Each structure stands twice: as C-alpha cells, then as structure tokens.
Amino acid sequence: MSKQPFKPHHINADSHDLKGNGKIGRYILLPGSDGRAKAIAGHFDNLVIKPHPRGHHLYIGTIANGKTVIDVAVISTGMGCPSMEIILHELYHLGGKRFLRVGTAGSLQPGIVKIGGIVNAQASVRDEKTTTDYEPISIPAISSFEFTLAIMEAAKKLGIIHQIHTGMVHCKSSLYAREFGAGPEGAINKSYIDLLTHCGVLATEMETAALFVQSQIYNYQLLQRGKGPQYRVLCGAILGIISMPPHDFATPAQEAKIETAMIGLALESIKTLSASEIHA
C-alpha cells in the first residue's frame, strides 16, 4: 500500500513547489507578515505567487549569486509560536530544509542593542507553551551554526557588521502581559523581563523557539536517513530592533529603514550559505 503524499491545510503548496538547489530544496524566508513576504519577493526573479485564503501566500522564485541561480521562497508565519509551528510543520513535510526567519524584536539591552540594530539569534529562551508539546523545557532551542556564521559573513560583505548583535533572544507567548506588564501579573512579568536583561538576553520576540526546536527535531529525523546537505535541516533568525525599554518605539520611517536592511541581509545570508552547498 503506497503512502499518500502529505497534504497541507494552511498553505497552498505541494512538494514540487519546494524542490530546487539540487536535493537541498528551496531556501525559505519566514517573515511574520505577508506585507514583508511580498517585499522580500520583490527581489526574486521568475516569481510565482500561490495565494491562500488565510493570508499565508507562498512566493517562489530565484535569486542570483554570480553565475549561480538559487531557488528561494518566502511565506509569512503569522504571529507567535502556535502559528509558526503550523506553517513550519507543513513546509518541512513538503520538503523544506532551509529556514531563515526575518522578523522584528524589542531590545532587552537598551544600552547596547538600539533601535535599528539587528540581532543574529543563536538561541532562544523558551518562555512559551508550544514547544513544550514537542520536548522538555530543559532542552535548549538553538539555531544552526551554519546560518549564524552565514549571517555574520553577509553582514561583513554589506558593511553593516557594526549593526549586528549575536546572542540569545527571549521567545514569549504574550506580548502585552509578558513584555509590557498588562494584567494582574504585571509586576511578576516585569521582574522576569528584568531578570532576562541581567542574564544577557539581547531581545524579545515571539517565534524563534518554535523555529529552532522544530528544526532541531527535523534535522535529527533526516540524519537518520543519510548523510550530506540534503539530510540536514538548518535554521536561523534575523531580527530588526524596533523598540527599547521603557517606552521607545521606532518611527514609521525607522521601521521602513530597518525592514530594508533586514531584507538585504537575509538575501545576502542565503547567498553566503548557498555558496557552501550549491556549485555553479
């Protein structure tokens, strides 16, 4: 009895859509919003759009790195780990193996990580509920070294290494309660955020824990099947800083500038990583 192909329920895609780059598959960028996905897709050649009623439209195309053509895709994940978990699960089971989040975050180190800075997330504090349904909280959520290094190298090429902060981020389930103190546990949440600052956590956001934990699990699953780049799942995260405590927020003009910088860095990071995996 043949195994039925995986059918996603929240994105408009099949396994053919994610093929490319030999056996590696497309490099997939993961912003939170469809607006940013559309902005990223504006840099693609041979663009094809696969819409979905939920707004998680899939944009597939190519980018060039010298003479090498790189197959890429971008799709929004929505807000928070529950939404990330669904989109990532469906992408992986359709053949996705390379994932780069392109998102925003709030600084937890206002003396160092300023509005307009970019965090290259190495690890994520699992202060959310989704990933505990996958594995114990004692297991850390870490990004792939290959992506972390590619982001640093790309930043050097672009001359923006001074804007990059590499380290831990905080991933939460609640924005207004956990970060901004809304509700009856406001004092407790403020104390916890202060603790994270004193532990050296760079910034706070809402999706990296799911991305890192699921990718670690998927990577293990593929490694049981063989060796080589096609049997690896790699992930990373580029986070533009749009706020600082206590109440400092980026202006619309600053946000636009941050988004432009993030997109440029993300695409250059894909080119850098692909150079070690794809041969012209």
Judge whether 9 lies within some domain.
no
Judge whether 143 lies within some domain.
yes
Judge whether 168 lies within some domain.
yes
The pTM of the full predicted model, rounded to 2 decimals, is 0.96
Domain that holds residue 55: 22-278
Judge whether 15 lies within some domain.
no
Report pLDDT digits (tens) over 69-113: 999 999 999 999 999 999 999 999 999 999 999 999 999 999 999
Domain count along the chain: 1
Judge whether 228 lies within some domain.
yes
Judge whether 271 lies within some domain.
yes
Judge whether 261 lies within some domain.
yes
**Number of other CB atoms surrounding residue 240 within 10 Å:** 26
How far from 72 is each of 45, 145, 147, 159, CA to CA, in Å? 10, 20, 15, 24
Judge whether 10 lies within some domain.
no
Check which CATH number belongs to the domain holding 209 and give it. 3.40.50.1580
Q: What phi and psi values does residue 118 have, to the nearest 5 degrees? A: -130, 130
Following DSSP, what letter does each residue of 114-153 receive, concatenated? -TT-EEEEEEEEEESSGGGGTS-TTS-EE--HHHHHHHHH
Report pLDDT digits (tens) over 112-161: 999 999 999 999 999 999 999 999 999 999 999 999 999 999 999 999 99
pLDDT exceeds 50 at position 214:
yes
Report pLDDT digits (tens) over 156-192: 999 999 999 999 999 999 999 999 999 999 999 999 9
